[in-house]
């Protein structure tokens, strides 16, 4: 780990006025600094900022401060009541120790677990060294993405929380040297394309301040289903977040997002379109799942994720329609 | 050993469940593990690892590292002290890697140490280690991705009858190949050495499963007299076989410390543990079983191959359990080693037997399916009444009872054999079982027991407690012999300045230490009673020692209550002694006339239930019933703990664990606790452990054989068989994964 300066910001203005790298829970950043992947020279601790509240918005939605810890958010009564998919996603991720440290803002910026990204002895990583190539292609790729990949990067987005936020159509509030702005989560994460080093829409100096959730739809049922090899402390092989309104045996409205399979939290628009207005039956769920994975491009070891993700969608939809 | 002078047992402490006496030290964080030793002026060493698997160091530039803050020393091939190899096949002084670190410029495996940086702080050494520049010339690596292309020799391990002919003629056949992957030992305590020289003697604070071997081996490696090496391992956070013999980091710390004339600590981090301190090697085994239509084995052939390193020929020994578990007239076992650019493998819990039994018991399950016979019935039909590999009777074999007891406790009778035919709560159930065995061993041990003038009894022995309860076993024997409470019993282990004890490996520590402690304690009591007789002023002066006894710490007349006697420490004080001590010894089992001509093994049976949700390909082990025939159990609480831990490890072996080598670089690519999957608490099934508890008196007066490895043996094949029963998918390459389960034709529960 290289030497760095450390300061604790007392206000958002002070934080966004620096050129340092923000650190909150540090569960990703410190790990990557120890591995030599991240080499910041200046760290700005944002945990003292007044952004640790969960409050109701005038429109009935929920505003989550960027410094709210994952464990606090998962157990927050309003989240448990109206946004169960978010609570379930949070509790399925990491370990209690990590959740106690990790923050909402930090989780949004979680880096991939791609082993080649995490090991600087591989010089060929387009995320770390743009233009250097991708060691994961042709390497051990069982955990890699099958959706949204490019010739430059096949790294999976690892978060569970962000999959739920994607299904909930969250809005990310940011503040930076040029002022405040709102970014829909659909626009927040970038596909790797030829520039996998650009992972999100944040401009230099911009800080995530809040995550806003729309008002809950009364009739909606929410499910987060995570499939993995072991029962705890593992990233998803495939996961699905579903927010669905099912009545009279028909799917009236549905939002589906997938985890563990995409280079970013993956919104399954095709599946949603295939399901909306259709009978809530296993056959329709399966057909929608087929649509969702149509564009999948597996590598040598992760072809199974295609079928697993389909089954994940079918099961999550079945649960949401029960 | 027991003699007619053995006093009567003081209590029923042998065979009783007692909490480990070192438990409070561990729960309060006061137990000192290797890396917990700190000394004034101590420096920190961090190794530099090779980033290629095969080639040669062309240039190593340490100038930048050398000039960084706090850096004291950079050692590498160009400036290393002379180190030596140990005598090959001398089992009293074994190293893990024959090649001492930095011996030549050749790179044999990814992660090999190429330099070590020593600095004032760990942080400085870590930073400087990253600044050492190494240029390599690469040569094509032979990586351990599979062993199928092996075309070398296959020497015979065991042979009887004509397995080839019998197989060809057999009406029912199974002929399959089974693969178990490389697995990494992941004890919670990572490897570490703290080396401190005083003059020309060195003390090595180690995490070693064999302090005596470590001392003998390091004396040879360093080229100094044995008496100049002291090895200390007070506590281990387990080892699973990975800490049996010294690894190269021990020599690196010793040399760095000698150069600097300062104590040096070297901690091997978790990622390094995947390349530099051993692993269970990749094994491929072809099994051919021939049987009659009523399920009697006619022939068994096992051809196994395991990978080894370019440095060492390590035979996993997959035939360990093959030759005696079942009755079969014709049998052939062959072995083969495939050299690969990997670190040197080392024994890992149940070496040989555990992968061997995965293959054999999976093949037996396939045979049962082919015969349409219950797998329990197939085992019982082929039970052996003697060790057919050598014609010897078993000292104590109750495999049949293990299987029958396990079947009854598990409720096996309810099993319906058709694939996917059992359901519960919307899930498919799979039930599988396997038999297990592991050799029983006893090695030499010396121990000194002392009755101290302060009223304590102590024992000293240079063995070590791997974390399983060895300290407590010593205390149990002393309590049995003296009647003193544990608070007045001092057990001192893990220091080579004490009498030489055994390694903690092969499940033999308990059987090895018991006779030595017992006989030392008997001698010490005998001497005490003589002192009572001969000391002026003793109330027992002139009383025949044979008419005296020690009960609850008091010497008294036989037949009188203990309260009428005198505390032993008063007699010691009256005689103006500091202590009364005596040595005791254990002889090796192979030198014991009582064990001569006997086949000594532990046995077990594993019954496993898996729950299968076909819609989402989710499979979990829900229930395990384990029955162990491990001789007499000295401390059932600690023993059950070991078996339960082993079963959890078996869940990992069956469903999760695999060290993955990058197909291009040979790097263990999942070398951390997040990516190398081991069973977590939620993966832990309900575990029911039963010990049959038949004393095996060929092993010693207490009849203990040993446990630990036996708990892992058989778990993985029982899981794989349960998986087949639930899903119809026969997985012959571990671990069983979602990829395999997705092939199941059963789609609904």
Domain containing residue B696: CATH number: 3.30.365.10
pLDDT in tens, B160-194: 999 999 999 999 999 999 999 999 999 999 999 99
- B101 and B238 co-located in one domain: yes
List of chain B residues whose C-beta atoms are within 8 Å of the C-beta of residue A235: 674
Are A1 and B655 within 8 A, CB to CB?
no
- B203 and B344 co-located in one domain: no
pLDDT in tens, B468-486: 999 999 999 999 999 999 9
* pLDDT score of B9: 63
Active-site residue identified among B227, B709, B739, B748: B709
Q: Is A207 on the interface with B (CB under 8 A)?
A: no
- B575 and B483 co-located in one domain: yes
Q: Is B74 on the interface with A (CB under 8 A)?
A: no
Tell me the CA end-to-end span of chain A in Å, nearest whole number. 51
Tell me the CA end-to-end span of chain B in Å, nearest whole number. 59
pLDDT in tens, B19-64: 999 999 999 999 999 999 999 999 999 999 999 999 999 999 999 9
Instruction: Please identify among residues 100-159 of chain A the ones whose CB lies closer than 8 Å to any CB of chain B.
Output: 113, 115, 119, 121-122, 138-140, 143
pLDDT in tens, B413-428: 999 999 999 999 999 9
Domain that holds residue B327: 165-181+280-382
Are A231 and B675 within 8 A, CB to CB?
no
Core vs surface per residue A248-278: b (16+ CB within 10 A) or e? eebbbbbbbbbbbbbbbbbbbebbbebbeeb
Rounded to the nearest angstrom, the minimum Cα separation between B733 and chain A is 15
Q: Is B664 on the interface with A (CB under 8 A)?
A: yes
List of chain A residues whose C-beta atoms are within 8 Å of the C-beta of residue B656: 229-230
List of chain A residues whose C-beta atoms are within 8 Å of the C-beta of residue B662: 139-140
Six token digits for residue B12: 């029923």
Asked if residue B18 belongs to a domain, the reply is no
Q: Is B222 on the interface with A (CB under 8 A)?
A: no
- B567 and B616 co-located in one domain: no
Q: Check if B709 is active-site.
A: yes
Asked if residue B158 belongs to a domain, the reply is no
What gap in Å lies between CA B708 and CA B639, rounded to an integer?
8
Are A229 and B656 within 8 A, CB to CB?
yes
Are A311 and B615 within 8 A, CB to CB?
yes
B23: which residues sit within 8 A by CB, 6+ positions away? none
| Closest Cβ opposite residue B682 in set A1, A231, A308 | A231
Q: Does residue B388 have a pLDDT over 60?
A: yes
Rounded to the nearest angstrom, the minimum Cα separation between A307 and chain B is 8
Cβ(A164)–Cβ(A224) under 8 Å?
A: yes
- B732 and B615 co-located in one domain: yes
Are A113 and B674 within 8 A, CB to CB?
yes
- B482 and B517 co-located in one domain: yes
Are A308 and B123 within 8 A, CB to CB?
no
* pLDDT score of B11: 65
- B458 and B567 co-located in one domain: yes
Are A1 and B617 within 8 A, CB to CB?
no
Rounded to the nearest angstrom, the minimum Cα separation between B683 and chain A is 6
What gap in Å lies between CA B476 and CA B607, rounded to an integer?
32
| Closest Cβ opposite residue B682 in set A115, A122, A232 | A232
Are B616 and A312 within 8 A, CB to CB?
yes
Q: Is B662 on the interface with A (CB under 8 A)?
A: yes
| Closest Cβ opposite residue B738 in set A139, A237, A318 | A237
Asked if residue B498 belongs to a domain, the reply is yes
Find, in chain B, the residue whose alpha carbon is nearest to that of A286. Answer: B615
| Closest Cβ opposite residue B677 in set A2, A122, A230 | A230
- B547 and B484 co-located in one domain: yes
What gap in Å lies between CA B32 and CA B453, rounded to an integer?
28
ipTM over 0.95: yes
Find, in chain A, the residue whose alpha carbon is nearest to that of B675. Answer: A234
Instruction: Please identify among residues 261-290 of chain B the ones whose CB lies closer than 8 Å to any CB of chain A.
Output: none
Rounded to the nearest angstrom, the minimum Cα separation between A38 and chain B is 14
As a three-state string, the secondary structure of B467-492 is CCCHHHHHHHHHHHHHCCCHHHEEEE
Q: Is A311 on the interface with B (CB under 8 A)?
A: yes
Q: Mean pLDDT, to the nearest integer, of B710-729?
A: 98
Domain termination site, one of B587, B603, B618: B587
What gap in Å lies between CA B588 and CA B592, rounded to an integer?
7
What gap in Å lies between CA B166 and CA B590, rounded to an integer?
34
Q: Does residue B10 have a pLDDT over 80?
A: no
List of chain B residues whose C-beta atoms are within 8 Å of the C-beta of residue A314: 615
Rounded to the nearest angstrom, the minimum Cα separation between A107 and chain B is 17
- CA B745 from centroid of its chain's CA atoms: 39
Are B674 and A314 within 8 A, CB to CB?
no
Q: Is A286 on the interface with B (CB under 8 A)?
A: no
| Closest Cβ opposite residue A140 in set B123, B669, B682 | B669
Rounded to the nearest angstrom, the minimum Cα separation between A102 and chain B is 16
| Closest Cβ opposite residue A311 in set B51, B617, B664 | B617
List of chain B residues whose C-beta atoms are within 8 Å of the C-beta of residue A309: none
- A54-109+157-213 maps to which CATH number? 3.30.465.10
A-B Cβ pairs (cutoff 8 Å, strict): 73
**Superfamily of A220-321 according to CATH:** CO dehydrogenase flavoprotein, C-terminal domain (3.30.390.50)
Cβ(A274)–Cβ(A313) under 8 Å?
A: no
Cis bond upstream, residue B471 (ω within 30): no
What gap in Å lies between CA B229 and CA B203, rounded to an integer?
6
- B302 and B262 co-located in one domain: no
Find, in chain A, the residue whose alpha carbon is nearest to that of B737. Answer: A229
* pLDDT score of B144: 80
Cβ(B272)–Cβ(B52) under 8 Å?
A: no
Q: Three-state SS for B366?
A: helix
* pLDDT score of A218: 83
| Closest Cβ opposite residue B616 in set A138, A229, A315 | A315
Q: Three-state SS for B715?
A: helix
Are A139 and B656 within 8 A, CB to CB?
no
Which of B125, B271, B612, B669 is most worth mutating to test chain A (most A CB atoms within 10 A of its CB)? B669
Cβ(B325)–Cβ(B382) under 8 Å?
A: no
The pLDDT profile of chain A, 322 residues, written as one tens digit per residue, is: 778 999 999 999 999 999 999 999 999 999 999 999 999 999 999 999 999 999 999 999 999 999 999 999 999 999 999 999 999 999 999 999 999 999 999 999 999 999 999 999 999 999 999 999 999 999 999 999 999 999 999 999 999 999 999 999 999 999 999 999 999 999 999 999 999 999 999 999 999 999 999 999 888 999 999 999 999 999 999 999 999 999 999 999 999 999 999 999 999 999 999 999 999 999 999 999 999 999 999 999 999 999 999 999 999 999 999 9
* pLDDT score of B4: 36
Rounded to the nearest angstrom, the minimum Cα separation between B661 and chain A is 8
Beta-sheet pairing, B330-334 with B156-160: antiparallel
Q: Mean pLDDT, to the nearest integer, of B4-9?
A: 46
Domain termination site, one of B562, B587, B612: B587
- B227 and B288 co-located in one domain: no
Domain residue spans in chain A? 5-43, 54-109+157-213, 220-321
Q: How many CA atoms lie within 13 A of B614 on its CB side?
A: 24
| Closest Cβ opposite residue A230 in set B617, B680, B742 | B680
B272: which residues sit within 8 A by CB, 6+ positions away? B47, B49, B111, B671
Q: Mean pLDDT, to the nearest integer, of B376-385?
A: 98
Please give the share of chain B, as a percent, with pLDDT higher than 90.
97
Are A225 and B616 within 8 A, CB to CB?
yes
- B169 and B271 co-located in one domain: no
Helix or strand run (H / E) with residue B172 = strand B172-180
List of chain B residues whose C-beta atoms are within 8 Å of the C-beta of residue A122: 665
pLDDT in tens, B199-241: 999 999 999 999 999 999 999 999 999 999 999 999 999 999 9
List of chain B residues whose C-beta atoms are within 8 Å of the C-beta of residue A115: 669-670, 675
List of chain B residues whose C-beta atoms are within 8 Å of the C-beta of residue A1: 123, 126-127
What gap in Å lies between CA B621 and CA B431, rounded to an integer?
10
* Domains of chain B: total: 4
Q: Does residue B5 have a pLDDT over 90?
A: no
- B341 and B291 co-located in one domain: yes
Are B664 and A139 within 8 A, CB to CB?
yes
Q: Mean pLDDT, to the nearest integer, of B725-742?
A: 98
Cβ(A185)–Cβ(A278) under 8 Å?
A: no
Q: Is A229 on the interface with B (CB under 8 A)?
A: yes
Domain termination site, one of B276, B297, B320: B276
Find, in chain A, the residue whose alpha carbon is nearest to that of B681. Answer: A232
Asked if residue B122 belongs to a domain, the reply is yes
As a three-state string, the secondary structure of B276-325 is HCCCECCEEEEEEEEECCCCCEEEEEEEEEEEECCCCCCCCCCCCCCCCC
Asked if residue B156 belongs to a domain, the reply is no
CATH code where residue B84 lies: 3.90.1170.50
| Mean pLDDT, chain B, integer | 96
Are B669 and A139 within 8 A, CB to CB?
yes
């Amino acid at each position: 780990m290289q030497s760095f300066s450390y300061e604790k910001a007392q206000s958002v203005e002070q934080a966004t006025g620096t050129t340092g790298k923000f650190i909150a829970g540090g569960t990703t950043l410190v790990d990557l600094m120890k591995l030599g992947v991240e080499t910041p020279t200046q760290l700005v601790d944002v945990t003292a900022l007044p952004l640790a509240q969960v409050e109701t918005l005038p429109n009935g939605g929920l505003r989550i401060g960027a410094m709210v810890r994952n464990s606090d958010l998962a157990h927050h009564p309003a989240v448990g009541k109206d946004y169960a998919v978010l609570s379930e996603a949070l509790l399925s991720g990491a370990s209690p120790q990590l959740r106690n440290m990790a923050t909402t803002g930090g989780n949004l910026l979680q880096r991939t677990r791609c082993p080649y990204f995490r090991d600087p002895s591989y010089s060929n990583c387009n995320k770390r060294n743009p233009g250097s190539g991708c060691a994961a292609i042709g390497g051990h790729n069982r955990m890699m993405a099958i959706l949204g990949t490019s010739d430059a990067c096949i790294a999976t987005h690892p978060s569970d929380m962000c999959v739920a936020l994607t299904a909930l159509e969250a809005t990310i509030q940011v503040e930076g040297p040029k002022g405040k702005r709102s970014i829909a989560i659909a626009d927040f994460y970038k596909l790797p394309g030829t520039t996998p080093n650009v992972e999100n829409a944040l401009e230099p100096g911009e800080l995530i301040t809040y995550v806003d959730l729309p008002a809950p739809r009364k009739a909606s049922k929410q499910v987060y289903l995570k499939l993995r090899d072991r029962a705890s402390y593992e990233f998803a092989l495939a996961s699905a977040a579903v927010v669905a309104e099912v009545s009279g045996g028909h799917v009236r409205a549905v939002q589906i997002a997938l985890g563990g399979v995409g280079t970013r939290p993956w919104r399954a628009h095709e599946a949603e379109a295939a399901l909306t207005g259709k009978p809530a039956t296993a056959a329709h769920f399966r057909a929608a799942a087929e649509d969702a994975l149509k564009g999948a491009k597996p590598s040598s070891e992760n072809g199974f994720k295609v079928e697993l993700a389909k089954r994940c969608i079918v099961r999550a939809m079945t649960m949401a329609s029960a | 050993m027991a003699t007619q002078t053995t006093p009567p047992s003081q209590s029923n402490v042998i065979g009783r469940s007692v909490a480990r006496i070192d438990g409070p030290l561990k729960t309060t964080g006061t137990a000192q593990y290797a890396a917990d030793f700190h000394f004034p002026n101590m420096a920190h060493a961090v190794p530099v690892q090779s980033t290629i698997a095969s080639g040669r160091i062309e240039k190593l530039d340490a100038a930048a590292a050398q000039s960084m803050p706090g850096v004291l020393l950079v050692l590498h091939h160009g400036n290393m002290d002379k180190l030596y190899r140990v005598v090959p096949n001398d089992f009293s002084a074994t190293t893990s890697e024959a090649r001492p670190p930095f011996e030549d410029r050749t790179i044999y495996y990814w992660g090999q140490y190429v330099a070590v940086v020593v600095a004032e702080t760990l942080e400085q050494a870590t930073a400087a280690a990253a600044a050492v520049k190494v240029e390599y010339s690469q040569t094509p690596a032979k990586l351990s991705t599979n062993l199928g292309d092996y075309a070398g020799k296959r020497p015979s391990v065991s042979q009887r009858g004509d397995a080839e002919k019998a197989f060809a003629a057999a009406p029912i056949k199974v002929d399959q190949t089974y693969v178990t992957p490389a697995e990494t030992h992941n004890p919670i305590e990572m490897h570490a050495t703290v080396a401190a020289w005083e003059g020309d003697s060195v003390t090595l604070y180690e995490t070693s499963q064999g302090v005596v071997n470590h001392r003998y081996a390091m004396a040879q490696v360093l080229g100094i007299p044995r008496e100049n090496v002291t090895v200390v391992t007070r506590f281990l956070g387990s080892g699973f076989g990975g800490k049996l013999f010294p690894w190269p980091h021990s020599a690196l710390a010793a040399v760095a410390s000698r150069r600097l004339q300062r104590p040096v600590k070297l901690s091997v981090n978790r990622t390094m543990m995947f390349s530099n301190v051993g692993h269970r090697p990749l094994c491929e085994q072809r099994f051919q079983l021939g049987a009659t239509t009523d399920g009697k084995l006619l022939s068994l052939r096992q051809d196994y191959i395991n990978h080894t390193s370019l440095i060492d020929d390590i035979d996993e020994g997959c035939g360990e359990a093959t030759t005696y578990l079942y009755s079969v007239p014709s049998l052939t076992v062959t072995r083969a080693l495939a050299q690969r650019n990997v670190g040197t493998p080392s024994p890992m819990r149940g070496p040989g037997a555990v992968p061997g039994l995965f293959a054999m018991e999976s093949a037996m399950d396939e045979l049962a399916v082919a015969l349409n016979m219950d797998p329990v019935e197939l085992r019982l039909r082929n039970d052996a009444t003697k060790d057919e590999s050598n014609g010897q009777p078993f000292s104590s074999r109750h495999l049949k009872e293990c299987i029958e007891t396990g079947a009854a406790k598990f409720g096996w009778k309810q099993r319906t054999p058709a694939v996917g035919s059992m359901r519960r709560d919307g899930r498919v159930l799979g039930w599988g079982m396997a038999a297990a065995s592991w050799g029983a061993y006893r090695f030499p041990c010396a121990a000194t027991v002392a009755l101290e003038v302060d009223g304590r009894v102590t024992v000293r022995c240079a063995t070590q407690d791997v974390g399983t309860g060895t300290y407590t076993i010593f205390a149990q024997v002393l309590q049995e012999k003296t009647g003193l409470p544990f608070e007045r019993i001092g057990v001192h282990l893990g220091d080579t300045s004490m009498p030489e004890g055994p390694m903690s490996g092969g499940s033999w520590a308990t059987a090895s230490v018991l006779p030595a402690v017992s006989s030392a304690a008997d001698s010490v009591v005998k001497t005490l009673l003589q002192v009572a007789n001969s000391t002026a002023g003793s109330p027992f002066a002139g009383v025949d020692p044979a008419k005296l006894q020690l009960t609850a710490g008091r010497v008294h007349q036989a037949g009188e209550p203990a309260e009428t006697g005198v505390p032993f420490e008063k007699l010691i004080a009256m005689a103006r002694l500091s202590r009364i001590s005596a040595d005791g010894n254990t002889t090796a089992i192979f030198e014991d006339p009582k064990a001569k001509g006997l086949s000594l093994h532990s046995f077990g049976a594993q019954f496993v239930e898996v729950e299968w949700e076909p819609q989402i390909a989710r499979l979990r082990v829900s229930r395990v019933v384990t029955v162990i025939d491990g001789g007499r159990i000295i401390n059932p609480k600690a023993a059950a703990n070991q078996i339960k831990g082993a079963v959890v490890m078996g869940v990992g072996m069956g469903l999760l664990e695999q060290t993955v080598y990058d197909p291009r670089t040979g790097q263990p690519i999942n070398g951390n606790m997040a990516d190398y999957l081991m069973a977590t608490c939620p993966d832990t099934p309900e575990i029911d452990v039963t010990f049959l508890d038949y004393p095996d008196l060929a092993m010693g007066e207490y009849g203990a054989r040993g446990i630990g490895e036996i708990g892992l043996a058989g778990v993985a094949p029982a899981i794989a068989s349960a998986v087949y029963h639930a899903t119809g998918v026969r997985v012959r390459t571990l671990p069983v994964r979602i990829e395999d389960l997705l092939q199941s034709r059963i789609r609904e529960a």
